[in-house]
Structure 1
Amino acid sequence: MAKERNYRTAPPDSSEERPLTTEHDPDSVGTARLVEEIKETADKFARDHASRGDLKLVSRALRELRYALKVFKPFRRHRKVTVFGSARTKPDHPAYQSALEFGRRCAQAGWYVVTGAGGGIMEAAHVGAGRKMSMGLNIILPFEQSANYVISKDEKLVNLKYFFTRKLMFVKEVHAVAQFPGGFGTQDELFETLTLVQTGKRDLMPIVCIDAPGGTYWKNWLDFIIKNLLDQKLISPADLSLFKITDDVEEAVQEVLGFYCVYNSMRYVRDKLYLRLHVAPDAAFLDRLNDEFKDIVASGRIELTEAHELEVEDEHLSDLPRLTFHFNRRDFGRLRQMVDFINEGLGNC
């Protein structure tokens, strides 16, 4: 049996860091070809006689993404959580205090806290995390918003013109998402994140909706989801497993940390899904998995294996045991339930 690992990561200056990322280091051979493809695409814009407005959009988006990816790259192997919520929430509001405590607890566990860098909930999460463990993705608007005092002028702050480049970074570069009460933007981010996870466009990660103590914001939201989506068969019952609602900060923190208790990350290799774990299941547990989750196995069985030869670029994850199977690539709510089953069955989470 593989040695169990501590899922709480240490800060970056600690000697006890764990290999954590699901992103892969760049391949020097393939990188040059991809850069050439980008150049070829740029040349095609000229051939297509693209309008100046279209070119400005593409040029600015590419420059924003290049810079944002550069800023986040040194932190790829550190866990990060995105915190969403209203910029209008005042410091004396219970939700502000909950966000502050959530940021503090995540930072204590070695997680970076990523927000939109504004005020309200975003400021609260950064206040809790502190400048060292905070990262920001600020949106440039004509009327708002300047970066909050915690992250302002920090090297881990990125200013972006476009919401779509900002939203990409919010989801691509993190390992969990926390939602506090907010307006259209908060709802937009939540639904987009859920859509990406539900459709497999983004790897599984914990999504937790946190209310102020005794608050009903997310309970009312869930009532809407059940009545208008689940009851109308517009989503599956298992899709409700993709997120958790709570008004308890400690429960929210454990939802985030506990997800990586045994489970580490996932990757597709050719036509199979590989789940990397910190603990290898025994034969009896493997039989239970195959019995409980046979509905999401397209063919064959769930099997215990080692790293595939095509995972060579993931050297920092090479010693982790894997579960591999032909996933139907449809029932991601059930796949999340499978991860929960593994964490509960193999770990002290």
Structure 2
Amino acid sequence: MADSLSSLLQEIFSNAETRLKQLEHHPNRTAWLRVLQSLQRMGSLNLSRLDAKILAATLEDLEQGFAAFQNYVHQRKVTVFGSARVGPDSPEYRQAQLFAHCISQRGFMVLTGGGGGIMEAGNRGAGLENSFGLNIQLPFEQMANPVIAASDRVINFKYFFSRKLFFVKETDALVLFPGGFGTQDEAFECLTLMQTGKTKLMPLVLVDKKGGCYWKEWDEYVREHLLSRGLISPEDLFLYTLTDDVGDACQQILDFYRIFHSNRYVRELLVLRLNAKLSPQALDILNEEFADILDSGRIEQTEALPEEAEEEIAHLPRLVMHFNQRNFGRLWQMVRRINTLHPAQPDRLQMRPDQK
């Protein structure tokens, strides 16, 4: 039985691979060949029923996520994390609702976990038209909150890991309110991805209730028990910021994209796209202050490179450098420095680029 299934799968994949190789000029041809070849190899492994179910559910999660966001590729978004256990009368809920309203009024959509508490507050503040809920299937069913429950803005994921992928992939900022194990997991996983260069450059803001100490005491723990023991580097503290003011949280996100637009790697080069060209003096300042994060050469200002000159962003100036791919906290610090080196304020929020 297993041999016949394997043979059937091999035949299907072989025929599909042959057809795909004929599409010489399709931009995603190579990637789809890799998908087919991986499935073909797994088809020969005689997977257990459990492993086959994991594969199927993972692909279904990815399919749902890709389909849901396909028409919102260029829309700026913010992911909001926080406790499902806080009620509408709590100050944390009100802060999250106010933040979501504030940031949605500035052109961002809001992504939440789709449940109650902070998640509901985020969707409520942004409104259905500016919301998505990335729900998770749990043994104790997490129901979608009433803001999004009866809409096509709910995506139900089987696995946490695929859900987290879309939280990070689709967003341009990460905002965390107080929460329990899940929120702490999300905070540290996002910081790990940022610290290791596994996500694009974006702000991570920890927001407390007015006068609250949740994130202040968290920050003290990080400094006293991680930094002091050499378990993280001093520059890692630049990966996040703290505030108890909703307006400040919104402004931090807007300021992050004031001059900086987006980043991309092209071969061994890091490319930073900018909303405005820097002066020669500003470029000299960057080279003086951030020479330590370069493997070689200088930070140069250029036009778009051929490999990343998508039509909608080809006009933007670039900073190109041989980043050492180690000092990511310093890289986040450099982005914030870039945003202080030009007097202009962009007249509108720039769209997101396609992610290649």
TM-score between both structures, scaled by the size of structure 1 = 0.90
For residues 151-230 of structure 1, the aligned pairs below 5 Å read 151-230=148-227
TM-aligned CA deviation for residue 144 of structure 1 = 3.0
TM-superposed deviation, 1:222: 0.4
Does residue 276 in structure 1 map to residue 267 in structure 2? Answer: no
1:307 offset after TM fit, Å? 0.3
The secondary structure found in structure 2 opposite 1:135 is strand
Distance 2:148 2:222 in 1: 35
Pick from 134, 138, 143: which aligns with 2:135?
138
Aligned in 2, Cα 1:315/1:39: closer, same or farther, shift over 3 Å?
same
The aligned counterpart of 1:128 is 125
Gapped regions of structure 1 (runs ≥ 5): 1-26
Tell me the amino acid that sits aligned with residue 223 of structure 1: E
> Which has the bigger relative contact order, CA under 8 A and spacing at least 6?
1
| 1:234 matched residue in structure 2 | 231
User: Are positions 1:260 and 2:257 aligned together?
Assistant: yes
Distance 2:122 2:46 in 1: 46
Distance 1:35 1:199 in 2: 27
1:339 paired residue number: 335
- Alpha-carbon deviation of 1:233? 1.2
**C-alpha contact (below 8 Å) 1:102/1:249 kept by paired residues:** yes
Match of 2:104 in 1: 107
Query: Where does residue 40 of structure 2 map in the other structure?
Result: 43
Q: CA RMSD in A?
A: 1.3
Q: Which runs of 5 or more residues in structure 2 are unaligned?
A: 1-23, 346-356
**Secondary structure at 1:256's aligned position in 2?**
helix
SS of equivalent residue, structure 1 residue 345: coil
CA contact (8 A) 1:262 1:347 kept: no
The DSSP-based 3-state class of the residue aligned with 2:261 is strand
Alignment of 1:54-69 (within 5 A): 54-69=51-66
Post-superposition Cα deviations, 1:195-250, rounded to whole Å, max 9, x if no partner, equal 10111010111000000001110011001100111111111111111101111111
Q: Percent identity?
A: 49
Deviations 1:76-104 (A, max 9, x none): 10100000000000111000000000000
Q: Larger deviation: 207-216 or 231-240? A: 231-240
Aligned-partner residue type, residue 229 of structure 1 = L
Code of the residue aligned with 2:315 in structure 1: it is D
How big is the shift at 1:156?
Answer: 2.2
Secondary structure in 2 matching 1:214 = coil
How high is the TM-score relative to the length of structure 2? 0.88
1:79 is matched by which residue type in structure 2? R
Aligned to 2:296: 299
Contact 1:261 1:347 in 2 (8 A): no
TM-fit CA distance, 1:193: 0.5
In 1, distance between residues paired with 2:106 and 2:152?
22
Identify the residue that residue 87 of structure 1 maps to in structure 2: 84
Distance apart, 1:34 and its partner CA: 2.3
Distance of aligned partners of 1:128 and 1:39 in 2 relative to their CA distance in 1, 3 Å threshold: same
- Structure 2: which amino acid aligns with 1:257? L
Change over 3 Å in CA distance of 1:227–1:288 after alignment to 2? same
- Report the counterpart of residue 116 of structure 1 in structure 2: 113
Amino acid at match of 1:284: Q
Report the CA distance shift for 1:280/1:61 in structure 2 as closer, same or farther (over 3 A).
Answer: same
Separation in 2 of the partners of 1:252 and 1:110?
15
The answer for the alignment partner of 2:319 in structure 1 is 323
Matched position secondary structure for 1:344: coil
Q: Secondary structure at the match of 1:119?
A: coil
Q: Which runs of 4+ in 1 moved over 2 A?
A: 32-37
Matched position secondary structure for 2:341: helix
CA shift, 1:45, in A, is 1.8
- Secondary structure of the residue aligned to 1:279 is coil
Read off the aligned partner of 1:234 and give its amino acid letter.
Answer: L
Take 2:73 and 2:343, find their aligned partners in 1: how far apart are those partners? 25
